[in-house]
Amino acid sequence: MDVYLPIANLSVNAIVIVLLGGGVGLLSGMFGIGGGFLTTPLLIIYGIPPTVAAASSASQVTGASVSGVFAHLRRGGVDFKMGGVLVAGGMLGSIAGGWIFRLLQASGQIDTVIAVVYVLLLGSIGSMMAREAWVAIRVTHGAVAPRPRKRRHHPLVAALPLRTRFYASGLYISPLAPLLLGFGVGILTILLGVGGGFILIPAMLYLLGMGTQVVVGTSLFQTLFVTATATMVHATTTKAVDIVLAALLLLGSVAGAQVGARFASKVKPEYLRMALAIIVLLVGFRILLGLTWRPDEIFSVELS
The residue ranges that bind another protein (CB under 8 A) are 2-4, 6-7, 9-11, 59-60, 62-67, 70-71, 108-109, 111-112, 116, 228, 231-232, 234-236, 239, 241, 243-244, 246-247, 250-251, 254-255, 257-258, 261, 291-295, 297-304
| CB nearer another protein, residue 66 or residue 281 | 66
Report the nearest approach of another protein to the CB of residue 86 (Å). Answer: 18
Q: Tell me, rounded to whole angstroms, the distance of Cα 233 from its chain centroid.
A: 17
Report, in Å, the least distance between residue 141 CB and another protein: 34
Q: Which is nearer to another protein, 60 or 189 (CB)?
A: 60
Residue 286 CB, nearest approach to another protein (Å): 14
- Cα distances (angstroms) measured from residue 5 to each of 14, 93, 118: 10, 29, 27
Comparing CB distances to another protein, the nearer of 174 and 223 is 223
Instruction: Name the minimum Å distance from CB 64 to another protein.
Output: 6
| Other Cβ atoms closer than 10 A to 88 | 18
What are residue 13's DSSP bridge partners? 2
Q: Which amino acid is at 192?
A: L
Q: Shortest Cβ distance from residue 297 to another protein (Å)?
A: 6
Shorter beta-carbon distance to another protein: residue 106 or 135: 106
CA distance 173 to 169: 10
Q: Which helix (H) or strand (E) element contains residue 253?
A: helix 243-264
SS3 93: helix
Q: Name the phi and psi angles at 187, rounded to 5.
A: -60, -45
| Number of residues that make up the chain | 304
Minimum distance from residue 129 beta carbon to another protein (Å): 25
Between CA 113 and CA 18 the distance in angstroms is 28
Taking the complex as a whole, how short is the minimal distance between the CB of residue 124 and another protein, in angstroms?
18
Residue number with CB closer to another protein (160 or 243)? 243
168 versus 228: smaller Cβ distance to another protein: 228
Q: How far is CA 27 from CA 258, 279, 283, in A?
A: 10, 10, 14
| Amino acid at site 276 | L
Contact between 235 and 243 under an 8 Å Cβ cutoff? The reply is no
Nearer to another protein (CB atom), residue 48 or residue 187: 48
